[in-house]
Structure 1
């Protein structure tokens, strides 16, 4: 019996694979670029680097592991054991990878290094977050605060990073501070890109007098689902049907050609959606 993609997403081997690859890529970015320029990224690993730079004791990976220990206890109590077991695995991989991966990309320009380091670290973080675990650190705090106090994940990261970069500004040169901000900005955008990769969908609204024919073609030929929404024209005051369907980038052009072949006067509206949960699409990510 073939394995469904939704079932694969929740399988142990697949999640361990994502956590392993993502963690290694993240550390390659850290050890290969970020640390060679003394940048401070956002998040708890950034705090680990800050402590390491200032004290010279242990290693960034060791500090990251130590800082995560109390968070593991909180996550075990307030989130779920499955989430924390996956997260613990990721933190252990990050620790060992940080200890044994030694690489230098040889990027000397500070701005280039911030951009490249942000992209590599963001790619690793995005792959990790495609699993049903996390890399620990702020991810644990953010989930707890959101679940129990309805504090947005973005606000948690923003508050922590404001505190962290305030210390960076007080202790380091303006060049390092600005480069670290660029690094964190690129990391966030790369993370979002890799997190939504292959999950992005297009929501299409079609307004046409031939909605019945278009709907039938969407179902029979394109094998997509469709929903009819009752509406009324503001100018004509006439009843209309809006056809809504969800597709991906690959099928979008076929859908467009199909609609305008049936009705050249149709109104074709496309919106981006970074994730669709339910029905035949993705299952909800449960911690």
Structure 2
């Protein structure tokens, strides 16, 4: 991968674009789809909606902005100032989009709103979190816990939402709360998909007596590295050369053709990785 593409993820325009587009998509799902049907969106935005439904003191966008202010201190102290500055941009963008978007999506029933709202908000949050910041809210706490304890971002949000919906049962129609829970389940799944879709690769383990030919062909035709492991067959007791390589989904079919053209008796294992860091793949994200 050329150096300029690897550096793109750290450029200011790219990160601002991710935050702006992610906030717009999330706000559309909230304002145009979830809000007209009385749904709670989850996270700090959902807490803001609950307070809006119960108190009617401020608009949802204003509640979102006010609730985020103390959370920014967590990011400033435990993550980085750069992260907080990007997040302030994302938070202000999302608050403004929520306030200014004029559209309402009319759907046949509330279940369609659950699916559409969950997908839009999950996609928007996932795009924002691909940046070096976030759109605010529980994302800040989730990133802190992910960095310190490797807790998945979606799990943090889902746990917070369970507590939020428990409180919502005392103030809202139970049917709306259950619909909202289903919407957040969809949102969490889409969020995790967007966070992992650019980092997933195929890990392929190859066992063959023609190791050198396969290795050379992989390096020449796919331009991928190969790690050689020394193994032994448990049944035969004979030493075996085991090859391990990491490729993308597009290259998988070509790799199969390379392997079985050289050795029709080769044994291969293909697994999907959740993340690959290193030369030729993603770099470790530093906030």
Q: TM-score under structure 1 normalisation?
A: 0.94
Q: Deviations over 1:150-194 (max 9, x none)?
A: 373455434322210101223222321221111001101111222
Judged with a 3 Å threshold, the aligned counterparts in structure 2 of structure 1 residues 151 and 202 are, in CA distance, closer, same or farther, namely closer
| In structure 2, C-alpha distance between the alignment counterparts of 1:105 and 1:173, rounded to whole Å | 22
| In structure 2, C-alpha distance between the alignment counterparts of 1:46 and 1:170, rounded to whole Å | 15
Superposition RMSD on alpha carbons, in Å? 1.6
Write the mapping of 1:183-198 to structure 2, written as runs, cut at 5 A: 183-198=183-198
| In structure 1, C-alpha distance between the alignment counterparts of 2:198 and 2:139, rounded to whole Å | 22
| In structure 1, C-alpha distance between the alignment counterparts of 2:17 and 2:179, rounded to whole Å | 32
Write the mapping of 1:7-86 to structure 2, written as runs, cut at 5 A: 7-86=7-86
| In structure 2, C-alpha distance between the alignment counterparts of 1:198 and 1:169, rounded to whole Å | 38
| In structure 1, C-alpha distance between the alignment counterparts of 2:56 and 2:183, rounded to whole Å | 23
| In structure 2, C-alpha distance between the alignment counterparts of 1:169 and 1:233, rounded to whole Å | 59
Is 2:125 the partner of 1:121? no
Checking the alignment, whether the CA contact within 8 Å between 2:214 and 2:262 is kept in structure 1 is: yes
Instruction: Report SS of the residue matched to 2:170.
Output: helix
Q: Deviations over 1:74-111 (max 9, x none)?
A: 22122110010011100000011111111112113111
**Deviation for aligned residue 1:44:** 1.1
**Large movers: runs of 4+ above 3 Å:** 143-148, 153-156
Q: TM-score under structure 2 normalisation?
A: 0.94
Counterpart in the other structure of 2:172? 172
Checking the alignment, whether the CA contact within 8 Å between 2:158 and 2:184 is kept in structure 1 is: no
Checking the alignment, whether the CA contact within 8 Å between 2:201 and 2:274 is kept in structure 1 is: yes
Gaps of 5+ in 2: none
| In structure 2, C-alpha distance between the alignment counterparts of 1:208 and 1:246, rounded to whole Å | 17
| In structure 1, C-alpha distance between the alignment counterparts of 2:69 and 2:245, rounded to whole Å | 46
Counterpart in the other structure of 1:103? 103
**Deviation for aligned residue 1:146:** 4.9
Instruction: Report SS of the residue matched to 1:170.
Output: coil
Instruction: Report SS of the residue matched to 2:240.
Output: strand
* Number of residues of Structure 1 aligned to a counterpart in Structure 2: 285
Instruction: Report SS of the residue matched to 1:64.
Output: helix
Counterpart in the other structure of 1:275? 275
More deviation, 187-196/12-21 = 187-196
Gaps of 5+ in 1: none
| In structure 1, C-alpha distance between the alignment counterparts of 2:96 and 2:104, rounded to whole Å | 18
